[in-house]
Amino acid sequence: MKPRIHAAVAALLLVASGCSAGSSATVAKDPGTLAIGYTAEPANFDFTRTDGAAIPQALLYNVYEGLVKLDADAKIVPLLAESWTVSEDRRTYDFKLRKNAKFSDGAPFTAEDVKFSLMRVKTDWTVSIKSTMDVVERVDVVAPDHARVVLTKPSNGWLFSLTSRLGAMFSRTGVADLANKPVGTGPYTVSSRRRGDSIVLKQNPAYWGTKPAYSTVVLKYIKDPTALNNALLSNGIDVISAITVPDSIPQFQSDDRFTVVEGTTNSEVTLAFNNARPPLNDVRVRKALSYAIDRKALLDTAWGGRGTLIGSMVPPTDPWYEDLSNAYPFDPAKAKALLAEAGRPNLSLRLRIPNLPYAVSSAQVVASQLADVGVTVTIEPLDFPAVWLKQVFTDRDYDLSIIQHVEARDIVTFGRPKYYWGYDSKPVQQNLVKADAGTPQEQVDAMRQVARRLSEDAAADWLFLFPNVIVAKNKVTGFIRNQVSESFDLTGLAPR
């Protein structure tokens, strides 16, 4: 019988070795093709009716374009608008449009499409961010290449949100099946998709602008961080769009096949306080907790020391950034004193977090540091997004939570008393209004006031700013270091 077993083993080996022949690369055979790995897959292609970061990440600036975009320095620059002017009263915007832009269904891009797209946000979009467009009073078609937008009141936030998915331009003849067939003016079109696996983007031959260097980009969706790393290590992909667990970074840094690009994001990892409810409606308690947490130590433990300590809801890429990370230096004695003063020497708090790696590891540090000042913390991981959204976010049934706030300029959420922070401050609300209506300088001044006030009130504890860590094969260049827009911008990527 022995020979038979040998034969079986030999056959298996033969299969394995036969398979290995002539294959060191899988996707990367063609130099014009780039494969990028992401962790979150778009549920569908319709960001007008489906929330989440994954759809704009894949489509914005790549398949859909807006009038303006955010460049690598977080500055608003022209895209489908060649230029624009703002009226004296800051309510009227005149956009001069590119004449040669076309949608991928062949329709030319005109001021009619601007009107159609911007007004459509009010009528057809169902995602919550659409409310930023409420301030649009009307859109006038002055000429085919001239669109005028009139706002009900001045709003800096409105122009900024035009750089997001809210500003995406849609074809009047291309919105029948947005979930499956996106039609935009961008340098790429969606060529195919395999749900649970990948989306393939192909260069748009009729693109008005500079053609991107890669003719095909494969967006590979790999939820498990280890599997994502393995795909890069085994040539399955060329780029990891964002590392979600820090342990693997040194491995790539020490391997000369790869380049590690590190920058910042808009993503503040925040220890949320329930400001509306005892005991955290007492500013002394909130301050005590802020003094009790050693954020440097937390960052080292939870994210391998990568990331930035900011001490506010403002990332360094916003014009009104100020380093407030020293507002509450680590001081357990002071924390204890404040708790005693508040009459809460023995406090028990519920820390209800999403069951995500960064939150779980941060929560453990927070719990142990708060234990040192006599605060008992019970960590309750909740299924994310469904259960966390319902219980913490909607029902506000929590004392503390830890979550990444990923949206750009989301400091404005502190102006909404009904938001889950439960934070209600007239000065903050007034300054936010002032900032939105004012000139660029007035905006900067007022926003600084907001951030300082939030810090004084210890409205939350900003643990750290999530780093943007891209890992790529050496041959790929042109990444945007700081993740400032909603898009993973493919247009600047090029082979070395």
Partner 1 sequence: MTVKVLRRLGILVAGVLVASIVVFLFMAVLPGDPAQVALGVNATPELVAKTRAEFGIDRPLVTQYLDWIGGVLQGDFGRSYVTREEIGPALTDRLGVTLWLVGAGMLVALLIAVPAGTFAAVRHRKADGTALSGLSQIGVAIPAFLAGIILVQIFAVQLRWLPSGGWTPPVQDPGEFLRGLVLPALSLGLVQGAVLTRYVRSAVLDTLGQDYLRTARSKGLRPFQALFRHGLRNAAVPVVTVLGLQLSTLLIGAVVVERVFVLPGLGSMLLDSVASRDLLSVQGIVLVLVVGVLLVNFVVDVLYTVLDPRLRGS
Residue 430 contacts partner 1 per CB under 8 A: no
Question: How does 406-444 read in b/e, with b if 16+ C-beta sit within 10 Å?
Answer: ebbbbbbebbeeebbbbbbbeebbebbebbbbbeeeebb
82 binds partner 1 (CB under 8 A): no
376 versus 394: smaller Cβ distance to partner 1: 394
4 near partner 1, judged by CB under 8 A:
yes
> What radius of gyration, in Å, describes the C-alpha atoms of the chain?
25
Which positions from 357 through 416 interact with partner 1, judged by CB under 8 A?
Answer: 383, 385-387, 389-391, 393-394, 413
For position 126 contacting partner 1 by CB under 8 A, the verdict is yes
Nearer to partner 1, 15 or 333 (CB): 15
The correct pick among 76, 141, 179, 260 for binding partner 1 (CB under 8 A) is 179
CB 148 within 8 A of CB 142: yes
> Which residues are CB-neighbours of 246 under 8 A, at least 6 positions away?
303, 304, 306, 469
| Residue 33 binding partner 1, by CB under 8 A | no
Query: In angstroms, how far apart are the furthest CA atoms of the chain?
Result: 93
Per rule CB under 8 A, count of chain residues that contact partner 1: 55
Residue among 72, 129, 337, 444 that touches partner 1 (CB under 8 A): 129
| Cβ-based nearer residue to partner 1, 212 or 354 | 354
Element (H, E) at 6: helix 2-20
> Is the bond preceding 225 in cis, omega lying within 30 degrees of 0?
no
- DSSP of 134-163: GGEEEEEEEETTEEEEEESS--HHHHHHTT
Chain mean position to CA 148:
30
By beta-carbon proximity to partner 1, the closer residue of 248 and 275 is 248
Identified binder of partner 1 from the candidate list 220, 287, 336, 352, rule CB under 8 A: 220
Q: Does 5 bind partner 1 (CB under 8 A)?
A: yes
Least Cβ distance, residue 273 to partner 1 (angstroms): 17
- Residue 5 or 496 having the CB closest to partner 1: 5
Residue closer to partner 1 (CB basis): 20 or 83 = 20
For residues 421 and 403, what is the distance between their CA atoms, to the nearest angstrom? 12
Candidates 52, 78, 304, 495; binder of partner 1 (CB under 8 A) is 52
Count of Cβ atoms closer than 10 Å to residue 33 Cβ:
16
Binding residue (CB under 8 A) for partner 1 from 15, 77, 142, 206: 15
- Tell me what percent of the chain is helix, strand and coil, each rounded to the nearest 5: 30, 25, 45
Stretch that binds partner 1, among 189-197, 296-304, 426-434, 437-445 (CB under 8 A): 189-197
Q: 366: helix, coil or strand? A: helix
- Cβ contact 214:493 at 8 Å: yes
Half-sphere exposure of residue 33: CA atoms within 13 angstroms, side-chain side? 15
Q: Is 309 in the site for partner 1 (CB under 8 A)?
A: no
Minimum CB separation of residue 393 from partner 1 in Å reads 6
Site residues, partner 1 (CB under 8 A): 1, 4-5, 8, 12, 15-16, 19-20, 23-24, 26, 41, 43-44, 46, 49-52, 126-129, 131, 179-180, 194-198, 220-224, 226-227, 230-231, 233-236, 383, 385-387, 389-391, 393-394, 413
